[in-house]
Chain A
Amino acid sequence: MHLRPNQQRRTSRPTWLLMAASLFLAPTALANVSIDDEPAEEAEAEEDKEEVLALVGGEIHTGLGGVLRDATILVRDGKIGAFGYDVDVPEDAEVVDVSGMRVYPGLIAVGSFGLFGSSGNLDDSVDPYNQNMTLALAAGITTAVDGNSVAKLKRGHVDGLVVSSSAFETMSYSNGNPQGQLKVEGDLKGAADYIRAYRAWEQEKKSNKEAKEPSKKGVDQKSLRILRGEVRPRFNADDRTDLLEIAQLAQRYGFRPIINGCREGWTVADELGRAGATAIVTPRTRRPKDESLLREGGSSIENAATLYSHGVNVVVVPASRGISLGGIVGQDLLHLPIEAGFAIRGGLPQLAGLRSITIEAARVLGVDYRIGSIEVGKDADLIVTDGDLLHYQTFVQWAIVDGEIVYDKQAEMFFAHIRPRPETALAPAERMDSGEEAPADAPEEEPAEDAGEEPVIEESGGEEPEANEDPEDPEDPEESEDPEESEESENTEQTAGA
């Protein structure tokens, strides 16, 4: 625009030839620079050929307490490469604009059936196009326990699903089976004695080379692994007496039990807390107390909250571990976040509610080194939601497993028609070119396109909200002419009227 008058002025001079030459030189010089730049960038791109996915502009909830607004997550090679505010997005990255949305770690269901088609050897029998898998992804679940395997919901893939093939080491220790209790306790005692003898031998070995290693014969291997801290045993227990006895057993032998059910846990929460227990609870369980007993009992909406406040880690599962419309509607796996929401309703802190279906679930499964939170280096199992994950109105917009988008609400038939995602959220590609100057927000770009005829006004109009970072500021009267601004004022009027 500015060049044209200059050009005319210069050509009118007698030395126009020289000047013209210089004019031609300038662009070639520029071109040279850009040519030099390009190969360098290409080489860089070739170096890390891995697929890069960038979620830009979202509110990142790490699952560990951190919340980063308008931040970027970079996924490289299926792992979380970086996240934060100063993340350089490579040019060849697949960019998804998630501004206005939230990014959470993928949810983990510690029990499920029917998500992987037939069960058994998952790598050989999974149906990765199974409808239930898609529905579970729509609920935000990216990892689930099937049988005793921890597996990812890698839609369209038949390999690399299994994260761990031993989800739980189940033990039975119930008041209703005293023989069984004796056996468990005997095994634990044998194992404890062995460990003690072994340690003594290790000490003695230093001075006395002829010391004999204690015999492993008759020592229960499972108990040994538990006492060594290699696995945490899972007990199925709801009854107060059972819970109490498990807590005492755990404290006696020094292991941290996982208690599945834990319905009356709120009555013995302090004991369970002291035992370092983790409780897998279903907050919407309803069961009256045994009226023949004087003590407190039965289910409580406050169960999760009470347990948590006494130091018990809480994991939430819905009442039904499948996906079904029969029986207990609204309490199947599709409603895992809702179930966690009910724990919050009963007093559990918000963060603990989120953790109960992410990192705490990963911990009881022993897979927290890979999944369960947004941390650099962990698997890129992420979900993008259009609001608070635990709100009933919220939908999962995208689910990402190992860095691959495996669920897109608008691409599936289930929920696409309910509050369809606005178009602006679908146009990520162009944003990256303008992204060099500043992380432009979607609302700023739109008026720029609309007012394309008057480029000067557009520029000044586009910059100001950028500087303010707050489009609500009605400083400039000219600004209100922008369609975006007028919309906003309308909105405020509406809310005021309501």
Chain B
Amino acid sequence: MILSPLLLLGPIAAAPAAPVQGDLFVIKAPRVELGDGEVMEHAVILVEDGEIVTMGQDLPVERGIPVIELEEGQVVMPGLVNPYSRVGMSGGGYNDSRPQVMASAELYPSAAYKAFFENGVTTVGQYPAGQGIPGQAVAVRPKGDSAEEMIVEDGVYLKVVMRNNSSAKRNLRDGFKKADDHLKKVEKEREKFDKAQAKAKGDKKKSSSKSKSKETFVPPPADPRVQPFFDLREGKLRALVSIRNAASYEHLIDAIGDEEFEWHLRVPLTRDIDVFHVADKVGERGCFVLMEPLITLVPGTLRQRNLPAEFERAGAKLVLLPRTDSKAGFESFLEDVGVMIGAGLDRKAAVRAITHNPATFMGLGDRLGSLSEGKRANLLIFSGDPFQPDTKLDAVMLDGKFVSGDMDQ
């Protein structure tokens, strides 16, 4: 805070007459949701090359820097992050274990991606289709002329589907078992190599004019289907496990056994889902839980439950997804979240659940999902409280450029 005005004033001291660079501008906002749940009033955000260089309260701005002055009542929020979508992708998948499949291979720019940024979603996680273990997801920015331009990060999570049946459990168990088998194989190869080395040495002593043997041991490469499980164990990859009910959570725990790796939960909410049975257990783990903003009923009754709020209170890191993975779902998303807030979900938690948490879940928390120095200038400008139904999304900024809305730079 002390430094930031200096940073802003820096250019003035250095070259007071120099013209301002093309991609430098300032947003003055009466109210900013930072994404981590906190709010900054009278915020000044300096953006350069699509990145927030500095932001703070009532910072002085050098003359000459273009300023976007927001009106009283307008609210700035980080761009929404939807880590679980297949909009823009097509085709089905399989029912077995294909952890090496990358969703990025399916990626191609199309008009369908407009649905994201027009509704405030500036970062998307796209997963491969299919049951079992269908493959790895990719984080994309929904605007770009080529797949390369769209990809923010590849392999952000491995999707795993867990059900109450032996094949789903086997998929997971076998994956790690094959990894173990590979390790054994490598060990065997190494022994063979060592023996050969020793023998070669012995031969050398006798007659030094033998053909060169390999100097260092090169382990046989792992099967591409096995590598993701090594990555899981080594913490290079995280798993997103889709469960359908409380029972499948218990089966997941059973299938994981003693294996240690980072995993999070996708819980598609249905009207009479019974996952509340395991809310406390999930909360204790403190993993990310991806669910829809939906009021559910206790099975067989009309008693309502706010599961997102329950899981959040229990200690889980909540991530909210649109109720349907479609344009219509994106359009009503913030209103749906507002309903959950009205039904008891903590407002700060709700903001986190659509910005900071999903970004952190995909390992992008240090780049986007919240508004602070060093983060991408992905931000939304609302005419008022984002969760009120009559609020309009005035503009969407993606990497420092307005991509939607009626505001000019």
Is B299 located at the chain interface by the 8 A CB criterion?
A: yes
Is B214 located at the chain interface by the 8 A CB criterion?
A: no
Cβ-neighbour of A121 out of B166, B247, B250, B298 (below 8 A): B166
Distance in Å from the Cβ of B257 to the closest Cβ of chain A? 10
Size bracket, chain B contacts: 10 to 19
| Per-position binary interface string of chain A over residues 110-133, scored 1 when its CB falls under 8 Å from any chain B CB and 0 otherwise | 000000011011011111111100
| Inter-subunit contact B301/A125 (CB<8 Å) | no
> Which of B137-185 touch A at CB < 8 Å?
164-166, 169
Is B22 located at the chain interface by the 8 A CB criterion?
A: no
| Inter-subunit contact B303/A127 (CB<8 Å) | no
**The 9 nearest A-B residue pairs measured at CB:** A124-B166, A127-B247, A129-B246, A158-B250, A129-B277, A125-B164, A158-B254, A129-B274, A125-B165
Distance in Å from the Cβ of A229 to the closest Cβ of chain B? 34
Is A92 located at the chain interface by the 8 A CB criterion?
A: no
Cα distance, A127 to B166, chains bound together (Å): 13
A121-B166, A129-B247, A129-B277 given; name 19 further pairs at CB < 8 Å.
A117-B247, A123-B254, A124-B164, A124-B166, A124-B251, A125-B164, A125-B165, A126-B247, A128-B247, A129-B245, A129-B246, A129-B274, A130-B247, A131-B299, A156-B250, A158-B250, A158-B251, A158-B253, A159-B254
Cβ-neighbour of A117 out of B164, B169, B300, B301 (below 8 A): B164
Cα distance, A437 to B298, chains bound together (Å): 46
Residues of B within 8 A of A124 (CB): 164-166, 169, 251
Residues of A within 8 A of B274 (CB): 129
Is A157 located at the chain interface by the 8 A CB criterion?
A: yes
Chain A: CB-nearest residue to B303? A413
Residues of A within 8 A of B300 (CB): 131
Cα distance, A131 to B169, chains bound together (Å): 23
Distance in Å from the Cβ of A498 to the closest Cβ of chain B? 38
Cα distance, A37 to B137, chains bound together (Å): 60
Chain A: CB-nearest residue to B246? A129
Residues of A within 8 A of B245 (CB): 127, 129
Residues of B within 8 A of A126 (CB): 164, 247
Count chain A residues whose beta carbon lies closer than 8 angstroms to a beta carbon of B. Answer: 18
Residues of B within 8 A of A127 (CB): 164, 245, 247
> Which of A122-151 touch B at CB < 8 Å?
123-131
Distance in Å from the Cβ of B276 to the closest Cβ of chain A? 9
Chain A: CB-nearest residue to B277? A129
| Inter-subunit contact B250/A413 (CB<8 Å) | no
Distance in Å from the Cβ of A213 to the closest Cβ of chain B? 41
18 A–B pairs (Cβ distance < 8 Å), ordered by A: A117-B164, A117-B247, A118-B164, A123-B254, A124-B169, A124-B251, A125-B166, A126-B247, A128-B246, A128-B247, A128-B250, A129-B245, A129-B247, A131-B299, A157-B250, A158-B251, A158-B253, A413-B298
Report B's interface with A, CB cutoff 8 A: 164-166, 169, 245-247, 250-251, 253-254, 274, 277, 298-301, 303
| Inter-subunit contact B247/A413 (CB<8 Å) | no
Distance in Å from the Cβ of B305 to the closest Cβ of chain A? 12
Cα distance, A472 to B299, chains bound together (Å): 47
**Do A413 and B277 form a contact, CB below 8 Å, given A127-B245, A128-B250, A129-B245?**
no
Chain B: CB-nearest residue to A158? B250
Chain B: CB-nearest residue to A414? B300
**Do A156 and B165 form a contact, CB below 8 Å, given A127-B245, A131-B300?**
no
Cβ-neighbour of A413 out of B165, B251, B254, B301 (below 8 A): B301
**Do A156 and B251 form a contact, CB below 8 Å, given A124-B165, A125-B165?**
no
Residues of A within 8 A of B253 (CB): 158
Cα distance, A197 to B303, chains bound together (Å): 69
Chain A: CB-nearest residue to B255? A124
Residues of B within 8 A of A131 (CB): 299-300
Residues of B within 8 A of A130 (CB): 247
> Which of A325-368 touch B at CB < 8 Å?
none
Residues of A within 8 A of B298 (CB): 413
Residues of B within 8 A of A121 (CB): 166
Distance in Å from the Cβ of A408 to the closest Cβ of chain B? 14
| Inter-subunit contact B277/A156 (CB<8 Å) | yes
Distance in Å from the Cβ of B203 to the closest Cβ of chain A? 54
Residues of B within 8 A of A125 (CB): 164-166
Residues of B within 8 A of A157 (CB): 250
Distance in Å from the Cβ of B250 to the closest Cβ of chain A? 4
Which of B169, B245, B250 has its CB near the most chain A CB atoms (within 10 A)?
B250
Residues of A within 8 A of B247 (CB): 117, 126-130, 158
Which of B247, B253, B298 has its CB near the most chain A CB atoms (within 10 A)?
B247
Cα distance, A150 to B301, chains bound together (Å): 31
Residues of A within 8 A of B301 (CB): 413
| Per-position binary interface string of chain A over residues 145-175, scored 1 when its CB falls under 8 Å from any chain B CB and 0 otherwise | 0000000000011110000000000000000
Which of A117, A125, A126 has its CB near the most chain B CB atoms (within 10 A)?
A125
Which of B164, B166, B169, B301 has its CB near the most chain A CB atoms (within 10 A)?
B164
Distance in Å from the Cβ of B18 to the closest Cβ of chain A? 67
Distance in Å from the Cβ of A151 to the closest Cβ of chain B? 14
Residues of B within 8 A of A120 (CB): 165-166
Distance in Å from the Cβ of B123 to the closest Cβ of chain A? 35
Cα distance, A159 to B164, chains bound together (Å): 12
Distance in Å from the Cβ of B283 to the closest Cβ of chain A? 16
Distance in Å from the Cβ of B379 to the closest Cβ of chain A? 42
Which of A124, A125, A128, A159 has its CB near the most chain B CB atoms (within 10 A)?
A124
